[in-house]
Amino acid sequence: MIKKRTRECQPCTACCDGWVSMTIGEAEVFPGQACPHSTGKGCNDYANRPIDPCDQFNCAWIQENSVLPDWMKPNNAKAIVMLNKLQWHGHPVDLAVPVGKRIPPRTLNWLKDFAQQHARLLIYTEQIIKQGKFQKDQTVIAFGPPEFQQDIDQSQRAGIDLWQ
């Protein structure tokens, strides 16, 4: 059953527009390739959107009692935040992906402050652009203790998919 929420997605379509890679029915959605149902201001089939991934998508802003302030709505903050995306030695790691090429400084500073204040770990990504096109892969950057940063760097160099 599709959940009712206090916050509303629309007019945000950040996850629908490919900033998070996913599959909607037969359609592959990734940076540069939006869901065919995205109008850029909403979903043209919102009432019938799939529960998985659309309604179950782990967007921290839309969750009930979200820790993210209103201004961190992804279409405004230009980042999609997913809390507890993975674990590192038993510690929760949050993930932020840009809506656009990079996460803007105001948003990134907020995320880093939040991680420090709550003793959490953060990884965030930057888009890779080749010949004017966004690539499916992204550069992953770790924010936290040096050992955490080294582990994430090594995993990335080894081609390990960190959160699928």
Q: Which residues of 4-13 are buried (b: 16+ CB within 10 A; e: fewer)?
A: eeeeebeebb
CA distance 73 to 59: 10
Please report how close the Cβ of residue 9 comes to ligand SF4 at its closest, in angstroms: 3
The smaller minimum CB distance to ligand SF4, of residues 41 and 91, is found at 41
3-state secondary structure 92-124: EEEEEEECCCCCCHHHHHHHHHHHHHCCCEEEE
Please report how close the Cβ of residue 38 comes to ligand SF4 at its closest, in angstroms: 4
The smaller minimum CB distance to ligand SF4, of residues 15 and 83, is found at 15
Please report how close the Cβ of residue 161 comes to ligand SF4 at its closest, in angstroms: 21
The smaller minimum CB distance to ligand SF4, of residues 91 and 136, is found at 136
143: alpha, beta or left, given left = phi > 0 and alpha = psi -120 to 50? Answer: beta
The smaller minimum CB distance to ligand SF4, of residues 48 and 154, is found at 48
Q: List residues near ligand SF4 by CB under 6 A.
A: 9, 12-16, 24, 35, 37-38, 43, 45, 49, 54, 57, 59, 61-62, 73-74, 80
